Structure 1
Amino acid sequence: MADAQLLELRLFTVKPGMREEFDRVSREGTVPLMRKIGITVVAHGPSLYDEDTYYLLRAFDDEKQRTELGASLYEQPEWEQYDEPVGAMMAAYSTVVFPMSTEAIKHMAEFGA
């Protein structure tokens, strides 16, 4: 697909009663850190479907960038303060990666972030 990026969708199953705190940590900590190191966070937030799901949409130019920036995130000194608390709030997560036009991603970012 010409003029496409990779869109990564992460779905987090958060332990019961933890979603509000997970959202706060995401908004105030992990998402700003991702953006600081160059990860394009398209949208994130609580699912409208159930009380224990949270989503994160990130865009990357290619798989190499996705892998390198993802690894870089966990090497940041600031990440250390989030690693254990975030892990303790999660029951599970899954990741799906697929191509999408850059224009569609920009439109989603206007709507979702």
Structure 2
Amino acid sequence: MIVEMRTYQTKPGMRTRFIEIFEAKTRPEHDRLGMPIAGPFLSVEDPDIFFFMRGFPDIDSRETMKARFYEGRLWKEELEAVLMPMLERYDVVVVDDPDGRIAW
């Protein structure tokens, strides 16, 4: 499995609202598309940072599956305009989990 390790920094005070929308809208759509999510995990040192992991069956399916989400109606018509302005930045590290160490 290929895993994206994603760290997000929201604008001050926006983390709770971002995660509410993430849980209500983003996670169900990812589940529907076959992209499991582990997290979110909240930073105990910074109230504006959280982390989650997103899985893909293999490297070849990653771009296709991401495109289904980011080019889809939910992202384009609803989430992008709401979530992106809440972010200061985000970082993504892509890793391989060949031994299935991450329990989804």
What TM-score do you get using the length of structure 2 for normalisation? Answer: 0.89
The residue aligned with 2:10 is: 14
* Structure 2: stretches of 5+ with no match in the other structure: none
Matched-pair contact (CA < 8 Å) for 1:23–1:46: no
Q: Write the deviation string for residues 73-100 of structure 1: whole angstroms up to 9, x where unpaired.
A: 0122122211111001001111001112
1:103 pairs, out of 77, 100, 104, with 100
The residue aligned with 2:33 is: 37
* Structure 1: stretches of 5+ with no match in the other structure: none
Q: C-alpha displacement at 1:58, in angstroms?
A: 0.9
Q: C-alpha displacement at 1:102, in angstroms?
A: 4.8
Larger helix percent: 1
- 1:21-100 equivalences under 5 Å are 21-79=17-75, 80-100=77-97
Instruction: Count residues in correspondence.
Output: 103
Matched-pair contact (CA < 8 Å) for 1:23–1:45: no
Q: Write the deviation string for residues 25-47 of structure 1: whole angstroms up to 9, x where unpaired.
A: 11111111111111111222422
